[in-house]
Amino acid sequence: MKKKIYLLAIIGIILDQTTKLLITSLLKLNEVVNVINGFFSITYVRNTGAAWGMFSNNTLLLSIISILFLIFFIKYIEELSKVSFFYEIAFGLIVGGIVGNLIDRLFRGYVIDFFRFIILDYNYPIFNIADTLIVIGVIILIINFVRDDLIEKRK
């Protein structure tokens, strides 16, 4: 069970770091490649903060927070005796995403972001694969917590 979580995390890290390597080798900083005009583009930026510009230029603080969350998740995973398939996926995605961005912060001093969406004239924060893994993992985790709570209340 734990092997599946860590394997998924490793796959996520490899995918995240590979896409970041591709972006940095193919694009110049702040270069924009329109994929779907006015909706989706690949835009190479260096992010020293978190989403929506929060904690800009606080790489050390964000690295420490990432390490603390990583320790929490790994400790939690190691204490598990058995979890459902969807919890395995959630934990693997979250750990992979945390490590993917942590690698950037520790070795580059910033996170490489490149997915840019504009929806209904709102320019969403530019993000990367690691961010996507974390968000999807958290959504799966919340759905499982709610589902488990509902099942428990029916008993």
131 is catalytic: yes
Helix (H, G, I), strand (E, B) or coil at 104: helix
- Reported for 79-85, long-range contacts at CB under 8 A and 24+ positions apart, including other chains, are 80/1, 80/2, 82/1, 83/1, 84/144
- Which one is catalytic: 16, 113, 148, 149? 113
Q: What are the two backbone dihedrals, phi and then psi, of residue 43, each rounded to the nearest 5 degrees?
A: -135, 110
- Reported for 116-123, long-range contacts at CB under 8 A and 24+ positions apart, including other chains, are 116/32, 116/40, 116/41, 116/42, 116/43, 117/39, 117/40, 118/38, 118/39, 118/40, 119/39
Please identify which residue in the block is written with the tokens 């320019």. 123
- Which one is catalytic: 104, 131, 148, 149? 131
CA dihedral 69, 21, 47, 55 (to 10 degrees): 10
Query: Which residues are catalytically annotated?
Result: 113, 131
